Structure 1
Amino acid sequence: MRIRILALAGLLVMSGQQAATAESNPLSDAFAKASSGYDVPRDLLVALAYAESRLDGHQGKPSASGGYGMMHLVPKAVQQAAEITSTPVERLRADDAANILGGAAVLRAKADALGMDAGARKDLSKWYAAVGAYGGSSNTATIYADAVYEALSTGIDTRGVTVKAQAVQPERGPDGEPFAEAAAVDYPDAIWKPALSSNYTVANRPASAPINKIIIHVAQGTYAGTISWFQDVRAKTSSHYVIRSSDGQITQMVREKDRAWHARNANTNSIGIEHEGYIDNAAWFTDQMYRSSAALVRNIADRYNIPKTRANILGHVEVPGNDHTDPGPNWDWAKYMSYITGGASNPHTPASVCGTGYSVIDSAPLGTDGTVYLLYSAASGKNCVATMKQTQLGTASPASAFLEVQGSPRAEDKGNFSYYAGPVSAAAPNTCVKWGGSVGNSSYTSPFEHCG
């Protein structure tokens, strides 16, 4: 009997240990420890991390504006955290628990600088100014703090860390009015907040250069952080617009007439749109963001007569001469283009069909059924033809693409295709080419041209 009792006791102990293990979450524990250690409300700390990173440390890699970890410790903050916590900078950058502890230390330092006493620190509503100061820029403090308090109001449940939704009315103080600045914008629904003048080029477009492309970016950072970065003398970069993940709020930072520095050789003829988030985390790409961005793109395209196709609405990765990978594989082009066009849209581009290094040098419309494109790659010395459908998308229907090098037989891709015909490619050194294609009953055949 004693043996059976002991065995039963052992099972109960093991069961208790297993339950404790199941309930334990290192990330949740890290927030609790940091909260206790620096007398910062745990839910506020989680909300700040969520607003910064969606609780993703990005394997110790910095954001586009140089912030590290879930708490987005920028260089000045990481040094401050190292001094307060006596933790090496490299560990603060790469270790989640250390990063959270460092963020709590910096946030507490901001609270102390504002004179918050122990009683005030217990009240979530009184942390608004300290949270804004943590963001690092007085120009975007209210945007930053509002994002954190919005996370508190909606609640958080990710990676085993939860925060119950709670209505908190923050004490904004005399400088905490809702973010706005009186200035005319090119897009009526946008807020104006100018980029630093040394981060873009003043121009007079479209008189000085046509605007015929819209470039889609993902910021590798937060909304407030991106706005702040474009106002930083170190950035040497900018975009015309920045869009927030949670609700699609749009901030314009560069006039459309001016050249934002966002896509190297494409800057002259394009408008750049940055989206809050990181390319490896689809959670940032909300339906509100897609719809807001699509409405902006429609407005821009209509004003500059830009065709609403993937040949003219490009991801940063698709712009020749650029080394970026955004908006990345998690960006839903089919959904996004359907919002732009009001229906289904071809998720492919001529360049994606022909391959890396090809750029469009000519095109011809096939009525309203599609467009046929001629491309060239300087690296391979080859031409390429692709026919892009604009009707019956996703359904196999007749289409073709052909390329004929003068003096050689014609190469053609013809059949029933869901999105495009081609690619058809060939080298034509110092030789004219004839090219064209068809969709349904609409067709185009060029003369021999583009010689040499």
Structure 2
Amino acid sequence: MLLWLVAALTAGTLAPPGPVGTTGRQGDFAAAAREFGVPESVLLGVSYLESRWDANGGRPSVAGGYGPMHLVDARAAAPAGPLHPQGDARGDDSRPMGPLPEISPEPSAERRAPADTLRQAGRLAGLTPDTLRRDPAANIRAGAALLASYQAAPSSDPADWYAAVARYSGADDQAAGRAFADQVYAVLREGASRVTDDGFAVRLDPQPGLRPEAAGAPAGTGALRGPGAPSPAAPPPAPGGAECPATLSCEWMPAAYERFGKRKNRDYGNHDRMIQARPIDYIVIHDTEGGYAGVPSMVRNPRYVSWHYTIRSADGHVAQHVPTRDIAWHSGNWDVNSRSIGIEHEGYLAKGTWYTEAMYRSSAALVKYLAARYHIPIDRAHILGHDNVPGSTPKSVAGMHEDPGPYWDWAHYFELMGHPLTPPRNTSGSSVIIRPAYTVNLSYFTGCAATDSSRRCAPRGASTVWLRTAPNPDAPLVTDRGKHRGRPATYSVYDHSARASTGQRYAVAGRQGDWTAIWYLGQRAWFYNPASNPSAVAARGPLVTPIRRDVRVYGRAYPERSAYRGTRPERLVPLQYRISPGQLYALGDTFTGMHISADSFDPARHVITRGRLRYHQIQLGHRVMFVKADDVRVIR
């Protein structure tokens, strides 16, 4: 125990140990289930989908839910808007976007406010709202009372509780409620076990044969399609339809495609329609930095930006806005936009809200479906956070977005997609995948409080590790010349410049004691990686190394100038970074340069230019970037 404590302190992480078994959180669920006549497995399953049994430090989710049972205080729900996104989401320096309008939520947004289950459950259990916010055991007890109140007739059979579980979701339509219940019963069949964020071991034993009678109908309301069909050139979804797997509740909420302004063929929004099939190499994960209720008014404004899907926090409901064949303006890099699908998740990077299991599971199912359809590898070189997208030009690097941030649980996300970040057998040596234990990785961050950017954030699990200039906890953080222009990195939750994230693969640059160095932005970067509590796992994969000094790095993989026909050539603008012989970087993919010129309202006038210049995508820093294949040697 003492060695574990010392290691955690040295790494800047500390998980508070707590009681386990029937005397801890497991006992709280058992007692509440007995008191209110709810099958214990059902209570555990509902709570797992809402919170993964975590207390979240008494902080509300973006939907205003508190505690393990996600009891909703409608007054604490995130505001619908207006929102003010920074930067140019289109990321095309040949046609920069103007100032974005302030967006106010539609009047109907207030009618979609979540039900106040916190007070309803409190009345049923005889507990005050404040107690339910701060006391996890009381929260579980009140949640059990609320769930029991939704049950038509007493029953000890978990299969009989489907309708009550669907109602507990708080979804505003039956399809979304059924989808939530389907996911709960999937958890009951699979089982689950974990240590919560406050140190309690909880287990749900699997019930593989459990099949509730009410689960027969499909959950989704959209036009449901299987992987591989239709082709990327298929017609856009009709109203009421969406490109989603059949297991999800999806709706078609179309983004605006309208002309405005004086330049009728160029002033339009808020995405680009495509007739020709475009390659789709990436899926980009975002968070909304606002409430779901504001989404309709944003995507329906042609002067605003766009993305392909939004996933609601409370129940995992999915809305699609842009057909996947079309280009949404979401990542801040036109090259990435033209080759990606963007998914927004209701939540905040740093304001104390947390991502629900319902949202994780819906997102994982959607990404797995899209990856199969477009043959996208399910790894961190292709499933990117917005914070992994490179700047297009040196000028744009510093302003690129940081979401979904360090609190997104990448390891759990990949487990849900069936691609856990585990090391292959008999592997050691040349590269590592970052993989700290999320729950106990309570890294130091500042900047979560809007009123005081220097104040420490509340400790909670994180998916990143800090990178230092030497194998010493007192050594300075590494610097990012593009992000800070010579100034030191910070511990801000909004500053990724000295962090490596779960799932990212890096070339090993050295080892010393409990420390490992990786090649990062042209320098050695050290992170604490003790064998007793490792922050990374050994990995296989190709690497690249420069064959000449000061190899330039790019934020876009554009064709050579001579490849353009009938459209203005785009300049190959290198970024601030350079790499040299002796350095090694993980190779994520290889592309032939491509550019889509889509500066007309008429998609028939769009031009796709394909060249012969080849690029390698590398994990240069926290963000992926590109090098010309002729400038490096691949080591396999």
Q: TM-score, normalised by structure 1?
A: 0.56
1:151 matches 2:187 = yes
Change (3 A) 1:139 1:322: farther
1:169 matches 2:211 = yes
Matched letter for residue 85 of structure 1: A
Once the two structures are TM-superposed, the CA of residue 318 in structure 1 deviates from its matched residue by 3.5
Change (3 A) 1:82 1:291: closer
Unaligned runs of 5+ residues in structure 1 are 1-20, 221-225, 359-384, 404-410, 424-434, 442-452
Counterpart position of 1:393: 542
Change (3 A) 1:53 1:418: same
How far apart in 2 are the matches of 1:395 and 1:284? Answer: 39
How far apart in 1 are the matches of 2:50 and 2:297? Answer: 19
How far apart in 1 are the matches of 2:310 and 2:121? Answer: 29
Unaligned runs of 5+ residues in structure 2 are 1-18, 75-115, 196-200, 230-243, 258-268, 300-305, 390-398, 420-429, 435-478, 486-520, 524-539, 553-576, 587-617, 621-627
Percent identity for Structure 1 against Structure 2: 28
Matched letter for residue 320 of structure 2: M
Is 2:387–2:401's contact at 8 Å kept on the other side of the alignment?
Answer: yes
Task: State the number of aligned residues.
Answer: 345
Q: 1:271 aligns with which of 341, 346, 355?
A: 341
Q: TM-score, normalised by structure 2?
A: 0.42
- How big is the alpha-carbon RMSD for the aligned residues of Structure 1 and Structure 2? 5.7
Tell me the alpha carbon deviations over residues 396-420 of structure 1, each in whole angstroms, 9 at most, x when there is no partner: 66454357xxxxxxx9752122207
How far apart in 2 are the matches of 1:240 and 1:263? Answer: 11
Q: 1:190 aligns with which of 233, 236, 245?
A: 245
Counterpart position of 2:57: 59
How far apart in 2 are the matches of 1:184 and 1:24? Answer: 43
- Equivalent runs, 1:8-27 vs 2, <5 Å: 24-27=22-25
Paired residue secondary structure (1:172): helix
Change (3 A) 1:163 1:202: same
1:124 matches 2:158 = yes
Counterpart position of 2:80: none
How far apart in 2 are the matches of 1:282 and 1:133? Answer: 17
Once the two structures are TM-superposed, the CA of residue 232 in structure 1 deviates from its matched residue by 7.4
Counterpart position of 1:253: 320
Counterpart position of 2:141: 101
Is 1:241–1:252's contact at 8 Å kept on the other side of the alignment?
Answer: yes
Once the two structures are TM-superposed, the CA of residue 440 in structure 1 deviates from its matched residue by 3.1
How far apart in 2 are the matches of 1:133 and 1:288? Answer: 18
Counterpart position of 1:317: 387
Counterpart position of 1:415: 581
Tell me the alpha carbon deviations over residues 193-245 of structure 1, each in whole angstroms, 9 at most, x when there is no partner: 2254589976442479x99884532769xxxxx9xx8577789588534799x
Paired residue secondary structure (1:177): coil
Once the two structures are TM-superposed, the CA of residue 125 in structure 1 deviates from its matched residue by 1.7
Is 1:392–1:418's contact at 8 Å kept on the other side of the alignment?
Answer: no
Matched letter for residue 356 of structure 1: K
Change (3 A) 1:299 1:276: farther
Matched letter for residue 483 of structure 2: T
Q: Which structure ranks higher in relative contact order (CA pairs < 8 Å, sequence separation ≥ 6)?
A: 2
Change (3 A) 1:413 1:149: closer
Once the two structures are TM-superposed, the CA of residue 127 in structure 1 deviates from its matched residue by 0.9
Once the two structures are TM-superposed, the CA of residue 439 in structure 1 deviates from its matched residue by 0.7
Counterpart position of 2:483: 356
Paired residue secondary structure (1:162): strand
Once the two structures are TM-superposed, the CA of residue 44 in structure 1 deviates from its matched residue by 0.9
How far apart in 2 are the matches of 1:301 and 1:53? Answer: 32
Change (3 A) 1:419 1:268: closer
Change (3 A) 1:52 1:65: same
Once the two structures are TM-superposed, the CA of residue 135 in structure 1 deviates from its matched residue by 0.6
Is 2:245–2:366's contact at 8 Å kept on the other side of the alignment?
Answer: no
Tell me the alpha carbon deviations over residues 302-356 of structure 1, each in whole angstroms, 9 at most, x when there is no partner: 8xxxx999898641224544353437575369x99xx8xxxx99989xxx97553
Is 2:331–2:337's contact at 8 Å kept on the other side of the alignment?
Answer: no
